[in-house]
């Protein structure tokens, strides 16, 4: 197979990952690493480097739109980015010390958790009660647009959310994903933000988190331009197409398909990691 043909096939796979990620809200990065390692036989560290580049590109494009529409809480995002950035640097450093098989095993459990979270129903809620003292002191409460107009919301559990963001950053640097699932978990369940605010603020943070760890992967030579370019362009174009299809797409069916794909990839990654096949 020629280099051009392989590049086009990788780009097509990345495009499909981008479409699927946009339709399910989990991003294409979580599909890219197992796709490159299991299907194309790419070393997992180079796959992580390419995935981080794609995460930066897709997050930057979508984040601007969410900020403009008023969903993103910028103050919360900038606060929690401190924890995710430090965690991402730690995760990227650890990735150079552990074996590829160990990374694959950890990745498989993250995939399974992502599949479980994707299959759950997320009800929109806004806590209008008083915020905790940390949130008030840092002026974190805000509002977001709804069909009935602006809806104010309170913020809770700032220390707990900050701690979970550090874990999300470690996973991002170690596995080359946006770790949006953990970020949304921290903001939705611990800080009790409305789900739309959680997801959009998570997207706002993902690019910065990925950039912090991508610098370490670049310094170690794990970002191959010949691999990162088709992956980045494929995921970015797929995410744009997926965003356009989202309005009329059968979300429940898509989430079921996504869950099946992720579970299959997870068990394949787990098997390869345990048997030393990577």
Q: What integer is the mean pLDDT of 235-264? A: 71
Proportion of the chain above pLDDT 70, given as a percent: 84
Q: What integer is the mean pLDDT of 56-63? A: 71
Helix, strand or coil, per DSSP, at residue 25: coil
| 93 has pLDDT over 80 | yes
pLDDT per position as a tens digit, 176-225 = 776 667 777 788 778 888 877 887 788 788 878 888 888 888 888 889 98
Output the pLDDT for position 109: 85
Q: Are 66 and 196 in contact (CB under 8 A)?
A: no
- What are the boundaries of each domain within the chain? 3-275
- Dihedrals phi, psi of 203, to nearest 5 degrees: -65, -35
Q: What integer is the mean pLDDT of 167-184? A: 79
Which one has a higher pLDDT value, 66 or 220? 220
Proportion of the chain above pLDDT 90, given as a percent: 5
* ∠ Cα 5 8 9 (to 5°): 85
pTM: 0.78
Tell me whether strands 142-146 and 149-153 are parallel, antiparallel or unpaired: antiparallel
Which stretches of 96-194 are DSSP H helices? 100-119, 133-137, 158-175, 180-185
Q: What integer is the mean pLDDT of 85-111? A: 86
Say which DSSP state 131 is in. Answer: P
């Amino acid at each position: 197979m020629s280099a051009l043909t392989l590049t086009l096939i990788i780009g097509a796979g990345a495009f499909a990952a981008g479409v699927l990620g946009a339709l399910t809200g989990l991003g294409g990065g979580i599909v890219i690493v197992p796709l490159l390692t299991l299907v194309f036989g790419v070393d997992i560290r180079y796959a992580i480097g390419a995935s981080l580049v794609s995460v930066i590109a897709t997050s930057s494009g979508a984040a601007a739109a969410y900020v403009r529409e008023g969903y993103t809480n910028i103050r919360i995002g900038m606060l929690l980015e401190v924890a995710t950035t430090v965690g991402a640097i730690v995760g990227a450093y650890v990735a150079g010390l552990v074996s590829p098989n160990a990374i694959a095993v950890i990745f498989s459990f993250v995939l399974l958790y992502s599949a479980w979270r994707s299959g759950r129903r997320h009800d929109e809620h806004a806590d209008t009660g008083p915020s905790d003292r940390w949130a008030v002191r840092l002026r974190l409460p805000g509002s977001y647009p709804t069909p009935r107009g602006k809806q104010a919301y309170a913020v809770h559990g700032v220390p707990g959310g900050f701690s979970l963001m550090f874990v999300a950053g470690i996973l991002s640097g170690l596995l080359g994903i946006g770790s949006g699932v953990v970020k949304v978990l921290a903001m939705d369940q611990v800080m009790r933000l409305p789900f739309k605010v959680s997801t959009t603020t998570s997207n706002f943070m993902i690019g910065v988190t990925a950039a912090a760890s991508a610098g370490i992967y670049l310094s170690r030579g794990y970002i191959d331009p010949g691999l990162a370019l088709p992956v980045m362009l494929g995921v970015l174009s797929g995410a744009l197409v997926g965003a356009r299809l989202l309005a009329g797409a059968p979300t429940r069916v898509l989430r079921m398909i996504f869950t099946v794909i992720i579970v299959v990839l997870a068990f394949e990654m787990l098997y390869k990691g345990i048997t030393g096949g990577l």
